Structure 1
Amino acid sequence: MTNKIFMLLTFIGVPLSIIGTLLHWSSILLFIIYCLTIIALASYMGRATESLAIVAGPRIGGLLNATFGNAVELIISIFSLKAGLVGIVLASLTGSVLGNLLLVAGLSFFVGGLKYKRQEFNIYDARHNSGLLMFAVMIAFVIPEVFSMNMNEDKKLTLSVGISIILIILYLAALFFKLVTHRGVYQHDTENVVHDEEAPEWGKGKAIAVLAIATVAVAYISEHLVHTFEVVAESFGWTEMFIGIIIVAIVGNAAEHASAVLMAFKNKMDIAVEIAIGSTLQVAMFVLPVLVIISLFFETSMPLLFSWQELIAMVSSVLLMVVISNDGESNWFEGLTLIAAYVILGIGFFLL
């Protein structure tokens, strides 16, 4: 039923997006159409990566899902940078970190916990990811803000680029560690369980083709979506920060939201956790640093500097997630706790 709704939204939304853009429809109407269409296209990206994940295993599958899920946000962010909307880009990436750690993981734990009293995932991966999360947010994000207080703009940008290069190198090293040198060393019992020999929905060729077509469509719509932000913000009284942290982040991560919750409902917690935490790490250690470097080629460069509200929100989310996930188990109450934290932060950013 859900797939049919997304199919209908896609086949109606894509033509309407093109027609509305050419005929210059109302920015608010176009904003709604663009967001719904991107979410529908993200569902196809999620289904395609899920098909590939069944063949590749939980780690590769989670990585693929996170990568193509973040591709939507990366595309939106690049066009936002091109338009000079640096504040929205930083806010959307903050929202992605908060959304993945609190909303995606929270919904996964909650929905899975309603069906199963106690769910387990790889405790070794959880602890490994916790260390990287602490490094990425509490070192790589907080340190630039502290040290840049007495720096001019050029030095701030130089510091940001240097940290970005280190983050990218460390992220690639982390992938090499998990997928090559220590693959299978920290195995978990649940990874050996066969889940009813599930067959992929689509073959490898079709899944890759769907991913490619959906990504191109998302790129086209995203380019026009960013031009509606100012009008929408003025019309609803929303701040640039709220649009980035809540609206853009939810739209950009729609594929991951759906996939992670579905995996948790099927008791495939290794994949669900890899999607939620792995996606956060990819945003913090790869997507954001890449955007900092890409911004050097645009008129407005983007230093790796967040507001104190954004930093405190991200640090609090990381600490909460580390405490909850470090035992390698989850239940519905832990999921509800994460969701409650996300709602509290959402109210704060809305009223800011």
Structure 2
Amino acid sequence: MANKVFLILVLVGVPLSVIGTMMHWSSIIMFIIYCLTIIALSSFMGRATESLAIVTGPRVGGLLNATFGNAVELIISVFALKAGLTGVVLASLTGSVLGNLLLVAGLSFFVGGLKYKRQTFNVFDARHNSGLLMFAVIVAFVIPEVFSMTMEQTEKMSLSVGISVILILLYLAALFFKLVTHRGVYQTSHEGEEHEEEVPEWGRNKAIGVLFIATLAVAYVSENLVHTFEVVGETFGWTELFIGVIIVAIVGNAAEHASAVIMAYKNKMDIAVEIAVGSTLQIAMFVAPALVLVSLFFPTPMPLVFTIQELIAMASAVLLSIIIANDGESNWFEGATLLAAYFIMGIGFYLL
């Protein structure tokens, strides 16, 4: 049923997005159309990556899902940088970290926990990811803020570029570690058990084709979505911070949000956790530094310097998620705890 709804939204939303842009319809109406269209397109990206995940396994599948889920936000952010909206971009990166660690993981634990009393996932991956999360968010994001307090803008950018290059190199090393040199080394006992063989919804070629077409469509819609932010913010009284942290983050990550919850409901917690945590690591260690480097080609470069509120929110989310997930088990109450933290922070950002 849901797939039919998303198909209708795509068939209606994409033409309306083109027509509305050409006819200069109301920014508020177009904002709603663009958001619904991106979410619907994201659902197709999620189904395609789920089909590929069945073929490639949980780790690669989770990585694929996180990558294409973040591709939507990366595209939106590039066009936002082009428009000079660096505040929105930094806020959307914050929103992605909070959304993945608290909203996505929280919903996955909660929904899966309602069906199963106790769910387990790879504790070795959880502990490995914990160290990377601490490094990526608390070390690599907090240090630029501390050191940049006495720096000029050019010095801030030099510091940000240096940190960005290190983050990208370490992220690539982490992928090489997980997928090549130590693949299968830290395997829990239940991972080796035989499971009922699943049949992917789409074949590999069709899934790749859907991903390609959906990504192109998202790129077009995202570019136009960015131009509505200013009018929407003035109309509803939303700040750049709230638009970035909540609106852009939720719309941009809709695909992985849905995929992680579906995986958790099917008791595939390794994939669900890999999507939530893997996506956070990809945002912090690849997308954010990549956007810093891309911003050098635009009139307004973006230093990797967040506000105090953003840093405290991200650090709190990291610490809470590490404490809850480090035992390799989850239940609905732990999911409710993560969701409560997300809503508390959401209220705070709205009232700023």
TM range (shorter): over 0.9
Give the alignment of 1:1-352 within 5 angstroms: 1-352=1-352
Deviation of residue 188 (structure 1)? 1.5
Q: Deviations over 1:8-36 (max 9, x none)?
A: 10000000000000000000000000000
- RMSD of aligned C-alpha atoms? 0.5
Quick one: which amino acid aligns to residue 109 of structure 2?
F
Deviations 1:63-105 (A, max 9, x none): 0000000000000000000000000000001000000000000
Cα distance in 2 for partners of 1:11, 1:86 equals 32
What TM-score do you get using the length of structure 1 for normalisation? 0.99
- Residue 296 of structure 2 aligns to a residue whose secondary structure is helix
Matches of 1:58 and 1:189 in 2, distance apart?
15
C-alpha separation in 1, matches of 2:98 and 2:190: 27
Look up the equivalent residue of 2:182 and give its one-letter code.
H
The change in CA–CA distance for 1:235 and 1:293 in structure 2 (over 3 A counts) is: same
For each residue in 1:116-151, what CA deviation from the matched residue of structure 2 results, as whole angstroms up to 9, or x when unmatched? Answer: 000000000000000000000110000000011111
What is the alpha-carbon distance in structure 1 between the residues aligned to residue 350 and residue 21 of structure 2? 29
Q: Partner letter of residue 261 of structure 1?
A: V
Number of aligned pairs?
352
In 2, Cα distance between equivalents of 1:131 and 1:344 = 25
> How far apart, in 2, do the equivalents of 1:347 and 1:298 lie?
33
Instruction: Name the SS of the counterpart of 2:228 in structure 1.
Output: helix
For structure 2, which runs of at least 5 residues remain unmatched after alignment? none
- Whole-Å separation in 1 of the counterparts to 2:209 and 2:256: 19
- The Cα of 1:62 is off from its aligned counterpart by 0.1
Q: Deviations over 1:228-268 (max 9, x none)?
A: 00000000001110000000000000000000000000000
Single out whichever of 183-192 and 60-69 deviates more from structure 2.
Answer: 183-192
List per-residue Cα deviations over 1:131-189 (Å, max 9, x = no partner).
Answer: 00000011000000001111111100000000000000000000000000000000012
- How has the CA–CA distance of structure 1 residues 194 and 10 changed in structure 2, closer, same or farther, with 3 Å as cutoff? farther
Kindly provide the CA deviation profile for residues 189-246 of structure 1, in whole angstroms up to 9, marking residues without a partner as x.
2322444211000000000000000000000000000000000000000111000000
Separation in 2 of the partners of 1:60 and 1:205?
A: 17
Structure 1 unaligned residues grouped into runs of 5+: none
After TM superposition, what 4+ stretches of structure 1 lie above 6 angstroms from structure 2? none
CA distance in 2, matches of 1:193, 1:235: 55
Query: Quick one: distance in 1 between partners of 2:33 and 2:338?
Result: 30
SS at match of 1:297: coil
Q: TM-score when scaled to structure 2? A: 0.99
2:213 maps to a residue whose letter is I
- Aligned letter for 1:198? E
Question: Hey, what's the Cα distance between the residues in 1 that align with 2:313 and 2:30?
Answer: 31
Q: Which amino acid aligns with 2:114?
A: L
* SS class of match (1:190): helix
Q: Percent identity?
A: 78
3-state SS of 2:339 partner: helix
- Contact kept in structure 2, 1:43 and 1:254, CA below 8 Å: yes
